[in-house]
Structures are given as structure tokens and as C-alpha cells.
Amino acid sequence: MSIKLNDKYVKNFITDTEIEAYREKVVETDKMLRNKTGKGSDFLGWMTASCAYDKDEYARLQAAAEKIKKSCDVFIVIGIGGSYLGSRAVIELVKSPRYNSMKKDTPDIYFSGCNISATDMRELLALCEGRDVCINVISKSGTTTEPSIAFRIFRQYLEDRYGKEGSKDRIFITTDRARGVLKPLATREGYETFTVPDDMGGRYSVLSPVGLLPIAVAGIDIMELLSGCEEARVALSTADIDKNDAYRYAVIRNILLEKGKGIEVLVGYEPSFQMFSEWWKQLFGESEGKDGKGIYPASVIFSTDLHSLGQYIQEGQRQLFETVLSLESADDDLSVPDDAENIDGLNFVSGKSLYEVNQTAMRATILAHVDGGVPNLVLEAKDRTAKTVGYLIYFFWISCAMSGYLLGVNPFDQPGVEAYKKNMFALLGKPGYEAMAEELNAKLQ
């Protein structure tokens, strides 16, 4: 198995009996999930479709990625939330957080439409100067404020530069197959389109065209990614909490929450885990944070943040637990050089590999934090290849579905995301929101 749960470092905090008490509930919930009888069951497409993606569209997507690689130096991906987090997470984890700075034969990839910053937009436009540009707009409805504004700006930019005709081969749209405003526009203008599936929410969409087109442009083997997902689907199809580590993880985090651990800190020992942690935060935060419930998902990169949040985790308010992502093999490695003078006193690690030192730091930290009263779960990942990452994605998906149901919420909706949007429309003067605007403006005085 590509991902294994090591739960020995929670044994001081929870008992086997407490885990056992969930056994039946997990079996029932698994049934509900697979029979699609639970809340939000219209959004379970990721359980099967993600691992076995539509063959024709897949071939077309690969071809589009090749075309993009050939025709541009800068690829701008326009989307917000699940429309960008998944692909950015996979690119940075499998390739590098410094993907754009490294030598490569694939285009630089920048993400836009995921904020309303003028500074960010100006910088992106400056980065396009003198270099060929393609864009991928990812939006189901085509009306979400942030990506819509970015699309207005970049569409105008491309048409100014390449003309209407020249732009049409540079604009790729990932959207609803029928509804929404982008499909008709694309048809009329001749933009190539890909499908945002109906039956999966944004946070479950990275292995659909939403994530796969940018991932393929980055030169990552998307077949490998999908095969890892399929491997996980098979491996995690049992409802037995002794055999299904994703379900066991879901159970343990619910028990820890019941015991007052309201924060889960996802820990990586490689900088490349940072954006993956952001993807994970959306997955769990958006799935479980409702009805006044849920664990707050946070993240750190160690040993970096051992010199920052480390103090808090070791000795602060005992309201948290950690889930550690351990890489069980080194892809890159380097040795610590010896120093004949031993100025820094570190010759006891001379010749040791950095990977080994890093893994030792991990084990040392787990023991220290457990001693300090922080339950630690360890997810042991074989490596950070596309295949393992595909496995890890499905692992977290199914775990999150189970965890949300055990918590008693609908893990597949996100009703709270609308609140700020409505207020924003009112304050921006959208027609129809006049009464609301008046009320809000009074509150702002």
C-alpha cells in the first residue's frame, strides 16, 4: 500500500475500546456512502469517476496539454478554491514549489483569478511581457467574481496581442458541460473546452479535467496519478477499520475532537508539502466546518517551523493534535560534508544523508511532541511520485467523507461560502440587492 497509517503515537491518548466503539458505525456509514443514501450523495462522482476518467476527453486533454507546451512560455490558470488548489498542490508536490524557477521544457505556470489583488494582477501581466501566453479558465458557472474579473483582463490582453483569431487557440475553458455562461461563449468563439463534472464539488475535482489539464502541462504523468487513485479505491474499499487506514484515520480524529482537540496540524518535512497542505485544508475545513462543528485544519513545514510554531506545539494550550506526512524513501539525496576542524561540532553527522537526518528529526519531534501532550498520527507515504500522490488524494477524500458523516454533517456542501458573496454583491451595488446594501452600510458606519 502506498499510504500506511501508523497510530502508535496516539496510544497514550485514546484507547482501543474507544476506537472499537466506532466499528459498527463505520460499517453502516460505509454502506450509506456506497449506496448513496447519505446527505450530499449527488456529489459522489469522485468515488469512481476520478480513477477512471472518460477516455476520449482524456486523449483530447493530453493533446491540448502538448499543444499548450508548444505554443506558450507562460500558462495562466484562472480559478479559485478547488479550481486551482488541487493542480497547484500536485505540481508543487511532484515537481517543486520552485517549479517556475527551475530549468525545464514545460511552460511556467501562474495561478490567477484566486484573489482580487491589483498588485498580483500587474505582476502577472509584467511576467507575460515578451513571452507567449495561453490561459485556462476553470469555472463551473462562469460567473464567480474573482476568476471572471481575471478572465476579462486576460481575454482582453490576449485579443490585444494576438487578435481575436489568434487568441482562440490560446484560450482553454474548463466548465460545466451544458449549463453556465462559458460553454456557449466557447462554442461561439471556438475555444476548446473540458468538463467540470456535475457530481463532484471543487475540493473533489483535482483528478477531473479541472486539475488534470494544468498538471499535464507541467509534465506530470496523469495516467500515473489516476492509477494511484485507482489503487487506493480498491485498497480502501473495505469497511473494516482494522484494514482501511483511511477510515481508521477518520475515526481517530473524531475521537480526538471529542476529547477537546479542536485543531489538527498537518505536518510535512519537505517544503513541497506546503501547497498540498493548503489543498488538504480546503478538503477538511470545507467538508466538516459547519453546524458549529469540526476540527480547524492548520499546517506546518518542519523542521522550518519547529523554530516558529514548534514552541506552541510543544508547550502551548493542549487543544491540538498532529498528522505527520512521512516520506518513506529519498528521491533526492546529499551527504553532510565533513569538516576537518569541526567548527560547528556537527561531525557526528558527517557523511550522513540529509534524508536520514531529516527523518531522524521527524522521529525526534514526534517523540518530543507526544511527551508534551500532543497526539501524533503518522501517514507513511512510499514516495512523492504521481502514483503515490494519486493514492494520497483518494485516501484523504474517502477519509474526509467518512469523517464528516461520523461528525454528523453533510461533507459535500459548503453553504457558508455564500454569506460573504451576498454581502459583497450588495456592497458593490449589484442590482436587486439595494435593501441589503442599505442594511449593511448602516452596520459599517
**Segment 281-300, which members bind a copy of itself (CB under 8 A)?**
281-282, 285-286, 288-298
CA 246 to chain centre: 17
422: annotated active-site residue:
no
In what helix (H) or strand (E) does residue 313 lie, and over which residues does it extend? helix 310-315
CB of 234 to a copy of itself, least distance (A): 30
Q: Cell numbers for 144, please give them.
A: 464567480
Q: Which of residues 205-264 bind a copy of itself (CB under 8 A)?
A: 262-263
**Residues 147/78, Cβ–Cβ less than 8 Å:** yes
CB of 144 to a copy of itself, least distance (A): 8
Near a copy of itself by CB under 8 A: residue from 40, 45, 219, 310: 310
Nearer to a copy of itself, 49 or 361 (CB): 361
Nearer to a copy of itself, 16 or 418 (CB): 418
Site string for a copy of itself, 48-87 (x = CB under 8 A): --------------------------------xxx--x--
Q: By CB under 8 A, which span of 46-54, 55-63, 226-234, 341-349 interacts with a copy of itself?
A: 341-349
Task: Give the separation between CA 83 and CA 291, rounded to whole angstroms.
Answer: 25
- Determine how many CB atoms are found less than 10 A away from the CB of residue 104: 13
Residue in the structure block whose three cell numbers are 464539488: 201
CA 322 to chain centre: 18
Near a copy of itself by CB under 8 A: residue from 173, 256, 320, 398: 320
**Residues 217/181, Cβ–Cβ less than 8 Å:** no
Give the amino acid at 136. N
| 6 in contact with a copy of itself (CB under 8 A) | no
Q: Cell numbers for 319, please give them.
A: 487543544
| 17 in contact with a copy of itself (CB under 8 A) | no
369: annotated active-site residue:
no
**Among 91, 120, 93, which Cα is nearest to 108's?**
91
Near a copy of itself by CB under 8 A: residue from 156, 187, 238, 329: 156
Q: Which of residues 92-111 bind a copy of itself (CB under 8 A)?
A: 96, 98, 100-103
Q: By CB under 8 A, which span of 62-70, 217-225, 306-314, 388-396 interacts with a copy of itself?
A: 306-314
Cα distances from 414 to residues 201, 282, 289, 368, in angstroms, run: 9, 11, 9, 37
CB of 320 to a copy of itself, least distance (A): 7
Task: Give the separation between CA 434 and CA 426, rounded to whole angstroms.
Answer: 7
| 27 in contact with a copy of itself (CB under 8 A) | no
Nearer to a copy of itself, 30 or 270 (CB): 270
CB of 239 to a copy of itself, least distance (A): 27
| All residues at 6 or more sequence positions from 61 whose CB lies less than 8 Å from its CB, including other chains | 194, 209, 212, 213, 216, 222
Q: Which of residues 389-408 bind a copy of itself (CB under 8 A)?
A: none
Q: Across-strand partners of 378?
A: 6, 324
| 148 in contact with a copy of itself (CB under 8 A) | yes
Q: Which of 103, 307, 341, 443 is catalytic?
A: 307
| 351 in contact with a copy of itself (CB under 8 A) | no
Q: Phi and psi at residue 312, in whole multiples of 5°?
A: -60, -45
CB of 262 to a copy of itself, least distance (A): 5
**Residues 85/211, Cβ–Cβ less than 8 Å:** no
Q: Across-strand partners of 321?
A: 264
Alpha helices in 347-429 (DSSP H): 354-371, 386-407, 418-427
| 349 in contact with a copy of itself (CB under 8 A) | yes
| All residues at 6 or more sequence positions from 27 whose CB lies less than 8 Å from its CB, including other chains | 239, 240
Q: Which of residues 352-371 bind a copy of itself (CB under 8 A)?
A: 352-355, 357-358, 360-361, 363-365, 367-369, 371
Exposed/middle/buried for 333, CB within 10 Å: 0-12, 13-18, 19+?
A: exposed
Contacts with a copy of itself by CB under 8 A: the residue count is: 126
For residue 388, the 8-state DSSP code is: H
Between vectors from CA 356 to CA 355 and to CA 357, what angle results, nearest 5°? Answer: 95
* Neighbour-count burial for 53-63, b at 16+ CB within 10 Å, e otherwise: beeeebeebee
| 118 in contact with a copy of itself (CB under 8 A) | yes
Q: By CB under 8 A, which span of 22-30, 206-214, 222-230, 428-436 interacts with a copy of itself?
A: 428-436
CB of 90 to a copy of itself, least distance (A): 16
Q: Which of 92, 286, 288, 322 is catalytic?
A: 286
**Residues 250/5, Cβ–Cβ less than 8 Å:** no
Nearer to a copy of itself, 61 or 137 (CB): 137
For 127, half-sphere exposure in the C-beta direction (CA atoms, 13 angstrom radius) is: 21
Nearer to a copy of itself, 112 or 244 (CB): 112
Q: By CB under 8 A, which span of 50-58, 230-238, 242-250, 301-309 interacts with a copy of itself?
A: 301-309
421: annotated active-site residue:
yes
Question: What residues act catalytically?
Answer: 286, 307, 421
